[in-house]
Amino acid sequence: MGPLKKITHNCKKATFLIEKKLIGRITLREHIELRIHLLGCSVCRVYKKQTGKINEMVRQFFYGSVKIDAGLDDTFKKDLQERIEKELNKK
CA dist 60 to 32, 49, 82, Å? 30, 17, 33
**Range(s) of the domain holding residue 12:** 3-90
1 pLDDT band (50/70/90 cuts)? Answer: low
Cα–Cα dist 31/7, whole Å = 18
* pLDDT the model gives residue 70: 64
**Ordered DSSP codes for 2-55:** -HHHHHHHHHHHHHHHHHHHHHS---HHHHHHHHHHHHH-HHHHHHHHHHHHHH
Residue 76 has pLDDT above 70, yes or no: yes
Q: Pick 8 or 50 by higher pLDDT.
A: 50
What whole-number distance in Å separates Cα of residue 41 and Cα of residue 46? 9
Q: How many domains does the chain have?
A: 1
Q: What is the pTM for the complete model shown?
A: 0.61
pLDDT band at 60 (very low <50, low <70, confident <90, very high): confident
